C-alpha cells in the first residue's frame, strides 16, 4: 500500500491487511519517480517517520516526547489511554529497509558531565541483512529528576550510517550541553545537576532502545 498524506492517519486496517506500507507524505514533483525506485528495489529506502501514527482516533494525542503521566495511570503504574495501551501504531523515527540492522554495546564516554561539557556516546551497529543500506542511529535523552515536568524522551542527536552486508561500525554521537537545559519557573534556561538517561536505537519506541545513564554536576 502506497499512501499520500500531509498528517498521521489511522492505518490499523492497512497494517493488518497490507504486506507493506510506503508513506509518501506530500512528495512533490519527483514523488512518482521516488516511489517507483523504492517499489522496484532500485533504491533501498532509508526514510524515518517524523511523526507518530495513532492506533485509533481515541488514542490521541500521540507524541513520542509526551510528558510522563499525561495519560491515565493503571494498577502497577502502567501508563495507558483509558481504552488501551499508549504505544502508537507506528512510532516517531521508525522505518523499514530491504536489509536489517542490529545494535549492541552502547557505552557512554562521559559518565559524569561537568558544566559546558558535551556528553558523548558510542554504539555498535551492524548490517545483518543481505543488501547495503543506510541506518539512522537516533539518540534520545530523558531528564530523570527535574524541578519542572519534562518529556519522557527528546531526540537530541542522530547519524546516518552506510553499511554493506555483514559490515559493523562503531557510531559516535554527542549531545550539546545546552540541549540538557530546561526552562525554569523563572523562564530561564538552566541545566540542573542530576541523573539523565540516554537511549539509542532505530526509533523512539522503548523496545527498540538501548539505555545508559549519566549524571550532570555543576
Residue 95 lies in a domain: no
Are residues 117 and 68 located together in one domain of the fold? no
Are residues 52 and 127 located together in one domain of the fold? no
Cβ count near 13 (within 10 Å):
8
Are residues 105 and 213 located together in one domain of the fold? yes
Are residues 63 and 170 located together in one domain of the fold? no
**Residue range(s) defining the domain that contains residue 7:** 2-85
Q: 119: which DSSP letter?
A: P
**Residue 213 contacts residue 177 (beta carbons within 8 Å):** no
Residue 36 lies in a domain: yes
Are residues 79 and 111 located together in one domain of the fold? no
Are residues 73 and 128 located together in one domain of the fold? no
Are residues 116 and 177 located together in one domain of the fold? yes
Distance CA 33, CA 24 (A): 12
Number of domains in the chain: 2
Q: Which pTM was predicted?
A: 0.91
Are residues 19 and 79 located together in one domain of the fold? yes
C-alpha cell at 130: 543481505
The count of residues in the chain is 218
pLDDT in tens, the chain (218 residues): 999 998 889 999 999 999 999 999 999 999 999 999 999 999 999 999 999 999 888 888 888 998 876 665 555 556 666 666 778 999 999 999 999 999 999 999 999 999 999 999 999 999 999 999 999 999 999 999 999 999 999 999 999 999 999 999 999 999 999 999 999 989 999 999 999 999 999 999 999 999 999 999 97
Are residues 107 and 77 located together in one domain of the fold? no
Q: 145: which DSSP letter?
A: S
Residue 94 lies in a domain: no
Amino acid at each position: 500500500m502506497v499512501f499520500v498524506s500531509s498528517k498521521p492517519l489511522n492505518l490499523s486496517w492497512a497494517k493488518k491487511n497490507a504486506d507493506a506500507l510506503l508513506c509518501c507524505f506530500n512528495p512533490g514533483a519527483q514523488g512518482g519517480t521516488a516511489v517507483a525506485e523504492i517499489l522496484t528495489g532500485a533504491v533501498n529506502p532509508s526514510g524515518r517517520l517524523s511523526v507518530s501514527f495513532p492506533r485509533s482516533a481515541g488514542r490521541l494525542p500521540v507524541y513520542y516526547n509526551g510528558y510522563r503521566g499525561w495519560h491515565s495511570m493503571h494498577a502497577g503504574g502502567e501508563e495507558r489511554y483509558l481504552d488501551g495501551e499508549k504505544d502508537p501504531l507506528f512510532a516517531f523515527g521508525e522505518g523499514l529497509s530491504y536489509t536489517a540492522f542490529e545494535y549492541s554495546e552502547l557505552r557512554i564516554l562521559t559518565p559524569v558531565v561537568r558544566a559546558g561539557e558535551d556528553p558523548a556516546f558510542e554504539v555498535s551497529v551492524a548490517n545483518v541483512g543481505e543488501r547495503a543500506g543506510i541506518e539512522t542511529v537516533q539518540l534520545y535523552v530523558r531528564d530523570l529528576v527535574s524541578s519542572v515536568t519534562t518529556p519522557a524522551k527528546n531526540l537530541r542527536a542522530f547519524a546516518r550510517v552506510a553499511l554493506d552486508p555483514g559490515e559493523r561500525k562503531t557510531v559516535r554521537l554527542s549531545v550539546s550541553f545546552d540541549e540538557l537545559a530546561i526552562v525554569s519557573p523563572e523562564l530561564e534556561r538552566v541545566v540542573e545537576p542530576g541523573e539523565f538517561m540516554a537511549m539509542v536505537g532505530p526509533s523512539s519506541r522503548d523496545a527498540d532502545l538501548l539505555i545508559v545513564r549519566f549524571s550532570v554536576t555543576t
